[in-house]
Amino acid sequence: MRVCVKINFVVLFAILVALVLRLINLNYDGLWNDEILTAVVSHPENSIRDVVVMLKGDVHPPLHPILTNIFGKIFGHNDLTVRLINVLLGVWGVYAGFLLARELFSKKVAYYALGLLVLNSFLIRYSQEARSYAQLSVFANLSFLYFARLIRNEYDRKNAIYYVLSTAAMLYTHYFAVFVIASQFVGFLFFMDWKRFKEKLWHYIITFALPNILFIYWIQFILKRADKPFEAWRDPASPGVILEYLEIFFNDRILMILACLVLAASLVYLASRKLIKQEWFTGFDKQASFGISILMIWILVYFFIPYIRSNFEASMMVNRYFVPLVVPVVLILAFFISWIPGIVIRNSFYLLICGWSVYVLFSKLNPYYANSTAWRETVDKLYELDRNPYVWYLSRDRRYWNYYLRLKNMSRAKEDFGPFENLMKQDNYPDTYYVLTHLRAQVPEYKDSIPVLDGYEQVFSEDMHNKGNVADARIIKYEKIKKVKDSL
């Protein structure tokens, strides 16, 4: 029996380009604070049960650290591997976005969308970060893909199973997934064929309820932290945050303006499509009504629920939490590009956007992590000075030092002065020791001065700078005072 495998070389090439772009600069900088949390929780020494137990005290669900934990057990555990799994998730998200565009519109729109998704700097950025945002995006794309198939077509068990799995996975990835489900609920009310719904009533009820039922286990842990206020570093929910996020999505003001134009055109179209009867408009309506409508519902509901809430209570607005909105915005842009008359004009305009996106990607010297603390660089410098030093490390977030010290197998390190003093005494007071301190999150009791062990003096100090050239960490070396050393 001969099996014929059909390969779409355009899609395959795009996927390879997406992979390459997400690998470039992957290890450009050390992990920042939240990434180190992922790395610590997902360490291969931890079992899956350990990962779940540790995250019960955190607001974020456990699926991403569990997958990172499994990935690390197979491929090793370091900065590169904890980010690499997100590269693969990001590439998968590009393909899922292509499938969604094809489902909602046409192959032509899907191909235009594919290039824009491959080159989108925001999607690349969060495909290179060891957090859950690339995973949230891919499962949101897949959830909407199977949701669209379920409400547009006859009930299909395979689509139902894929919907349940992708939506449950999305919920166990990030708590903002509830806004994707809220968007789908609104879309369901607008577009469901109620006659078909009644014929398969229990099938639909079980399909749409099951992901939420599967998530009940984790809801209890979210509710335990519901009274904890959001931290002040979140973005204020001002009117300008809409444009600010669109500019961040494309990392460019020109592309942001273009996105604003197509979103505004979509709103005008949705508001007036029943009022305008011209032939060009009704033709546009037949091709785009469902796709434009469902994507705009996704964008509006997902954005405005946390936005409105943030105007009355502590802000929930953090631009990376809105990663799932990049795909619907790009798909709408792709649709409007496909609608430009004249293949030469259309393709020239599309290539111009792609070329500009490439320029945006490579025009920045420091890609994404310019403000992260130089944890890795500081420990690397310490390793150059001494392969296994005695280290007392200081910071309000001491686990970050500990992560990199463990990677370098520096076992003679303590985070508290008392245990460190005992270690030095136990080892008969070696000639040197080091202090690592974080300059931006200093331990309050040591803010003005750092205690020095009796008989030692400071002989060396170096401030370490991050990629933004901000001094945020310091290495201090202490040696025995010569008289003390001679007397011993």
What is the residue extent of each domain of the chain? 9-362, 375-487
Across the beta sheet with 391-394, the strand order is 413-414, 391-394, 432-438, 471-480, 456-465
* Side-chain half-sphere exposure of 125, counting CA atoms within 13 A: 20
* Side-chain half-sphere exposure of 71, counting CA atoms within 13 A: 22
Check if the beta carbon of residue 64 is closer than 8 Å to that of residue 169: no
The pLDDT score that the predictor gives to residue 1 is 42
Check if the beta carbon of residue 66 is closer than 8 Å to that of residue 48: yes
Tokens of 125: 């950025």
Check if the beta carbon of residue 425 is closer than 8 Å to that of residue 379: no
Helix axes 279-310, 177-191, angle to 10 degrees: 140
Residue spans of the chain under pLDDT 70:
1-7, 225-233, 273-287, 364-370, 483-488
The pLDDT score that the predictor gives to residue 223 is 78
- How far apart are the C-alpha atoms of 358 and 196, rounded to whole Å? 46
Q: Provide the pairing of β-strand 456-465 with 471-480.
A: antiparallel
The pLDDT score that the predictor gives to residue 115 is 96
DSSP 3-state helix, strand, coil percentages of the chain (rounded to 5)? Answer: 65, 5, 30
- How far apart are the C-alpha atoms of 196 and 150, rounded to whole Å? 11
Rg (CA), the chain: 26
* Side-chain half-sphere exposure of 102, counting CA atoms within 13 A: 12
The pLDDT score that the predictor gives to residue 3 is 43
Going through 361-428 in order, the beta strands assigned E by DSSP cover 391-394, 413-414
Tokens of 485: 């050393």
CA 72 to chain CA centroid, Å, is: 18
Complete DSSP assignment for 246-293: HHHHHTSHHHHHHHHHHHHHHHHHHHHTTT---HHHHHHHHHHHHHHH
The pLDDT score that the predictor gives to residue 479 is 94
Check if the beta carbon of residue 482 is closer than 8 Å to that of residue 431: no
Check if the beta carbon of residue 478 is closer than 8 Å to that of residue 484: no
The pLDDT score that the predictor gives to residue 91 is 98
Task: Record the pTM.
Answer: 0.91
Check if the beta carbon of residue 478 is closer than 8 Å to that of residue 431: no
Check if the beta carbon of residue 247 is closer than 8 Å to that of residue 201: no
Phi and psi of 349, rounded to 5°? -65, -40
The pLDDT score that the predictor gives to residue 5 is 47
Q: Cα–Cα distances in Å, from 293 out to 28, 67, 183, 331, 456?
A: 40, 34, 11, 12, 71
- How far apart are the C-alpha atoms of 249 and 125, rounded to whole Å? 10
DSSP annotation of 124: H
Taking alpha carbons only, the member of 385, 381, 390, 375 closest to residue 441 is 375
What is the SS3 assignment for 478? strand
